[in-house]
Each structure stands twice: as C-alpha cells, then as structure tokens.
Amino acid sequence: MKNYQAYLIDLDGTLYKGDEHIDGASQFISYLNQHKIPHLYVTNNSTKDPEEVATKLNKMGLVARADEVVTSALATAEYIAEESPGASVYMLGGSGLKHALTDKGLVVKEDEFVDYVVIGLDEAVTYEKLSTATLGVRNGAKFISTNQDVSIPKERGFLPGNGAITSVVTVSTGVQPIFIGKPEPIIMRKALEILGLERSEVAMVGDLYDTDIMSGINVNIDTIHVQTGVTTKEELELKPVPPTYTFKDLNDVIKELQS
C-alpha cells in the first residue's frame, strides 16, 4: 500500500461504535502522530462541537486536537455563511450544529419564517419540530441537510440517522435538500483545503462505502476501507467502483504501512 502524506478519517464505525473503542484505532492514530503524518477526522455527526469530539477521542486513548476535527455542522455553517451572510435559520439538531451556525454569524430562529431550514441529527426530534421545518420549506426556505446517513452505528445496533429524519421533510414537501456531509464533495473540499496537499497525497479512511468511500471517490482521492462498521467485504464486491484498498481493521493498515 502507498504511504500517503495525509489521511482523512471517519469516526463512527472506523474508530469507535458509540462509546466502544474499535481495536486498532488508537494504534493507528498513535502511528500517525509518532510519524508526524497530518490527519483530519471528517465526520457526518453534526451533534458535537470539534472540542467535544476531540475530548471523546482522547478519553478513548486516541490523541486528537479540536482543530483536527471537521464536522458536517462546520461545513454546513460555512456553506450558508458564504452563500448568504447573516441569514436566518430554523434547525433540527444538537449543540454542535447550533454553535457552528451562530459562530458564523447566522441567526437561529424558532419559527418557520426563515431563509434556510437545516436538518441535523436530532435525538430529541418531535412532530412539532418536523412540522416547523416542513412549513419553513413550504414557505420557500432553502432546504439543507448536514448528511444523508439513514442509519448510525451505536452500542445497541444501527439506529435512525440524519438521512432518515431528513426524509420526513423531503416526503412531506416534495423538496430535495442540498446535502453537505459525506459523500458530497462540499465537506471533503473543506478538509482538503485545510490540509493544503495534492489530492494524490491524501487518502480517505472509513467503513461505510456509500458515505466514506464514495466521498473519496467523488473528489478523486484514494480510499481505504476497513471492515469494522457497516459495509462488509462481500458487499464491496457488488459495488461498481471498489475502494483502493480494503482491510479487516486498522491494525492491518498499520502492518501494511510498516511493510
């Protein structure tokens, strides 16, 4: 396997599942840190601030900094702020999304009379929240979703993801949102911009083909699939464009890098 100058790394299903550490994750990050290889954690999870993500990783023995975290919330806020500075937003989601939006000078409101409706993963979603989002889109607000993941890996199993919540508003209004997170190029371009390297020097590491691997394919960088999350090795064989590499876990990636 090629030794890359930098890596973009998924979190859920690649480094951990919920609060469970995945074997090989801390060893891989330690290898990158010891060899001073730049890396960014690129996650579709919009519920947490980068500081919270870094804290979780550190508690699991994965030495990480907040400035190494690129969330779909950050990419969403930047996208809206560049397109319409100071715009008003109705959002579903956690504190990570709200902080990202307000930090970019956007105005978060609690009614349907807004410029944008943004859907992020909301573990306290209610019918009233979905109703307000639906009315906002029907009133002409631009419809944005942080990501299209229909399920997320947790300790209990695969639970409804942001894409599942987004689909309620989509079905009700007939309006398709603009998706920001993986596999869309928007979040990946942001991460590549931060690294400042040629695309041939960067690889995307992840478990889920439809988001992680396709996100790399969509911006023409190599991809490293690990069989620790959603997509199995057998399922990869049915995909029209395979990942550049696939490994059982990150321990095997380290062995390959050291060989």
Q: Which residues are part of a known binding site for Mg(2+)?
A: 10, 12, 207
- Residue 31 half-sphere exposure toward CB, CA atoms < 13 A: 18
The string over 76-105, giving b where at least 16 C-beta atoms fall within 10 Å of a residue's C-beta and e elsewhere, is bbbbbbeeeeebbbbbbbbebbbbbbeebe
Whole-number Cα distances in Å, 253 to 2, 21, 58, 114, 122: 11, 17, 21, 47, 34
Kindly state the helix (H) or strand (E) to which residue 213 belongs, with its residue range: none
Q: Which tokens hold the place of 191? A: 């991460």
The amino acid at 132: T
Say which of 12, 122, 212, 222 is annotated catalytic.
Answer: 12
Residue 10 annotated in active site: yes
**Which segments are annotated as binding site for substrate?**
182
CB 92 within 8 A of CB 118: yes
Residue 49 annotated in active site: no
Q: What residue has token string 């944008």?
A: 116
* Active-site amino acid positions: 10, 12
